[in-house]
Amino acid sequence: METAKAPGKIILFGEHAVVYGYPGIAVPVKNAEIEVSVSHSDYFSYETDRELYKEEKECLNELVDLIFFQLEVDKKELHIKIKSTIPIASGMGSSAALAVALIKGIAEHFDILLTEKKINEIAFESEKLFHGTPSGIDNTVVTYGKPVYFYDGEMQLLKLKKPIYLVIANTGIKSSTKEVVSGVRQRYERYKEEYSALFDKIGEITEKAKTAFENGEIEQLGELMDKNHALLQQIDVSCKELDELVETAKLAGALGAKLAGAGKGGNIVALVDESSKDKVIEALKKISKNVIYTEIKP
């Protein structure tokens, strides 16, 4: 039996502004992952650790067919077991992680050697099944397991000078990325000058964050996260639950905290150090049922 894993991901800087041509930064979340086991069987089958809706089953079948096609092997007698610790519909890249783990597991089963570049290419094709016209961000972060700076369709792997410690907490509210992005678009069209200025500021913050990443300026990163959250509040994509989680993390000693992803629900991400992480995790667990701690190392 072959086993493969792939991490989740989270946007750290630049959400919403990226839609209007500004840069963004996304990072892997290795403590939230999908694990795929592939073994011989008398017929093709799969099992998951949660019940799938009809549409999800159809999409999973299409995904497996696509991977077999891309790997140029016949869909043979296999049993695939899927386990996930990535919250569904939370903006943490669960579809990209599923694709990457399946690609790795099936390729290993057939003794096919793949470069990370090839895995990323197949995962990008797979993402089209889920998102139609994906940006390529999720599959790139998940495949390489490294922070990614993205701007104008180009991706750059970020080199860290120091480890980054993050705590992610979920509001328990599922929000539609499509609906939230559409709402921002409507307000942008109505208040173009005001929103353009806000996006300019978010873009500047993301550029400064890239430099802080590369120079190991951890406290600066925290301050930039706080500023980014304030701007996301101004474009009306936060909510009281997100703000409460951000405030709780800050009061517990986080260096910085912000909503992560589309907003109106979903997650916040807090930057901590080794002295504050336990207090922040404990505080967030009191108001969130899903708290994840993760480290990103150079």
If one counts every other C-beta atom within 10 angstroms of the C-beta of residue 21, the result is: 11
With a cut of 90, say whether residue 240 has pLDDT above it: yes
pLDDT in tens, 98-140: 999 999 999 999 999 999 999 999 999 998 887 777 778 889 9
Structure tokens at 85: 């610790």
Q: What is the mean pLDDT of the chain?
A: 92
Structure tokens at 25: 């930064």
Q: Are residues 170 and 77 in the same domain?
A: no
Q: Which of 245, 279, 230, 225 is nearest to 27 (CA)?
A: 225
pLDDT in tens, 36-82: 999 988 888 889 988 877 887 888 889 999 999 999 987 778 899 99
Q: Are residues 174 and 289 in the same domain?
A: yes
The CA distance from 262 to 96, in Å, is: 17
Distances (CA, A) of 228 to 64, 152, 187, 232: 38, 20, 19, 6
pLDDT in tens, 188-230: 999 999 999 999 999 999 999 999 999 999 999 999 999 999 9
The CA distance from 220 to 11, in Å, is: 18
Which residues neighbour 75 within 8 Å (Cβ) at sequence distance 6 or greater? 44, 64, 65, 68
- Residue where a domain stops, chosen among 157, 179, 212: 157
Q: Are residues 53 and 84 in the same domain?
A: yes
The CA distance from 237 to 245, in Å, is: 15
Give the domain CATH number at 86: 3.30.230.10
Contact 20, 158 (CB under 8 A): no
Residue 136 confidence (pLDDT): 85
Q: How many domains are there within the chain? A: 2
> Active-site residue numbers?
138
C-alpha R_g of the chain: 19
β-pairing, 78-84 vs 45-48, is parallel
Q: Which of 257, 28, 13 is nearest to 151 (CA)?
A: 13
Across the range 153-180, mean pLDDT stands at 90
Range of the domain at 32: 2-157
Q: Are residues 178 and 118 in the same domain?
A: no
Q: Which of 8, 47, 5 is nearest to 26 (CA)?
A: 8
